């Protein structure tokens, strides 16, 4: 009897020891993960693939401007390095003066490194976000059938190695006259398909990993929907779209109607449905978003908060 009690006491002690050890390991693992997130931000590279004058640089700058003004809830950002600090703040100042940003050239490739923090308290995570704003001509070469000319270039290595992909569709070109619009839909759909196929082919042995990375199909300049909900034959409307979509002065900020945006978005998604279905077919984290640098709903720039939260893990 005494011997049995001793055995039970021994087994209880062993069990308590095992449970305590497991608990200690869990606490250590959680603390280590929390500590590393604080001290060593998680690297996260974002590839923005869009063509000339699609509004990529303006959109990137507007995102930073909104984050700095604390208008995107739950997100904080600190530019890292003199280059990023100078470019971001100069671009913000240019927009605040009412001027358009100059297109990114081969000689003035803009790159940004930002520590971006998401969440709060114990759920807070910091990411070292690296984002390259490559010239539209570089993106176009990436969509060529013959890609040999850019293999091993900085742009190619960045695009194929990214942790998230954003494909940009320019609504100013889409909302042009019906003939130009059809041509734009056909050509852009072809170019984006080719670009994505290059990425998939390069990672053929790691395809499953690529299919779990965020992929955003991003329609820019959605504020233009207030001029026209679909391609138009009206000359004055077309000229106004071109003026506000590609002018030297930026358009005034406007309050958007959710009903108007939703209705117009249906037309655009329908016209690009083949491309959208192709990109979303196997992708686990895919999303279609309509954004605007100059239009807002409920005091927030259209879908910029959702865009940021969609590209971060």
Q: Tens of pLDDT along 212-234?
A: 999 999 999 999 999 999 999 99
pLDDT for residue 140: 63
Q: In this model, does residue 146 exceed pLDDT 60?
A: no
**In the chain, % of residues over pLDDT 70:** 79
Q: Identify which has the larger pLDDT, 21 or 98.
A: 98
Per-residue pLDDT of 51-100, as tens digits, reads 878 888 899 999 999 999 999 988 999 999 888 899 899 999 999 999 99
Per-residue pLDDT of 255-297, as tens digits, reads 999 999 999 999 999 999 999 999 998 888 999 999 999 999 9
Query: Edge-to-edge, what's the strand order for the sheet holding 215-220?
Result: 75-79, 110-118, 125-133, 42-49, 164-170, 215-220, 286-290
CA distance 61 to 100: 11
CA 223 to chain centre: 19
DSSP label at 146?
Answer: -
**Average pLDDT estimate for 131-151:** 62
pLDDT for residue 33: 58
Q: In this model, does residue 153 exceed pLDDT 80?
A: no
Local confidence band at 34 (pLDDT 50, 70, 90 cut-offs): low
Q: In this model, does residue 31 exceed pLDDT 60?
A: no
**Average pLDDT estimate for 15-22:** 67
CATH class of the domain whose range is 41-311: alpha beta
Per-residue pLDDT of 109-122, as tens digits, reads 567 889 998 877 66
**Average pLDDT estimate for 15-44:** 65
pLDDT for residue 183: 95
Q: Strands, E, within the chain: which ranges?
A: 42-49, 75-79, 110-118, 125-133, 164-170, 215-220, 254-255, 286-290, 295-297, 300-301
CA distance 247 to 196: 30
Domain boundaries, the chain: 1-40, 41-311
Q: In this model, does residue 22 exceed pLDDT 80?
A: no
Q: Identify which has the larger pLDDT, 169 or 154.
A: 169
- Name the burial class of residue 243, with classes exposed (0-12), middle (13-18) and buried (19+) by CB atoms within 10 angstroms of its CB: middle
């Amino acid at each position: 009897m005494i011997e049995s009690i001793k055995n039970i006491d021994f087994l209880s002690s062993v069990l308590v020891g095992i449970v305590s050890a497991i608990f200690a390991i869990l606490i250590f693992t959680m603390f280590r993960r929390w500590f590393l997130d604080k001290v060593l931000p998680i690297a996260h590279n974002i590839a923005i693939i869009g063509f000339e004058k699609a509004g990529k640089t303006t959109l990137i700058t507007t995102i930073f401007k909104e984050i700095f003004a604390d208008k995107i809830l739950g997100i904080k950002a600190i530019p890292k390095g003199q280059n990023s600090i100078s470019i971001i703040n100069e671009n913000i100042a240019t927009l605040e003066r009412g001027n358009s940003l100059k297109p990114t050239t081969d000689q003035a490739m803009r790159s940004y490194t930002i520590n971006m923090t998401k969440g709060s308290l114990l759920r807070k995570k910091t990411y070292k976000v690296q984002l390259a704003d490559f010239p539209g001509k570089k993106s176009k070469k990436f969509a060529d059938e013959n890609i040999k000319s850019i293999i091993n270039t900085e742009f190619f290595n960045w695009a194929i190695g990214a942790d998230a992909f954003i494909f940009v569709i320019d609504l100013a070109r889409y909302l042009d006259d019906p003939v130009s619009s059809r041509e734009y839909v056909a050509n852009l759909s072809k170019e984006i398909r080719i670009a994505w196929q290059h990425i998939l082919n390069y990672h053929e042995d790691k395809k499953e990993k690529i299919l779990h990375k965020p992929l955003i199909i991003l329609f820019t300049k959605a504020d233009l929907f207030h001029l026209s909900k679909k391609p138009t034959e009206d000359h004055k409307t077309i000229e106004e779209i071109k003026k506000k979509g590609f002018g030297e002065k930026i358009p005034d900020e406007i309050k958007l109607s959710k009903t108007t945006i939703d209705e117009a978005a249906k037309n655009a998604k329908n016209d690009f449905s083949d491309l959208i279905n192709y990109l979303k077919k196997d992708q686990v984290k895919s999303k279609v978003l309509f954004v605007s640098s100059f239009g807002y709903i409920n005091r927030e720039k259209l879908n910029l908060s959702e865009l940021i939260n969609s590209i971060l893990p």
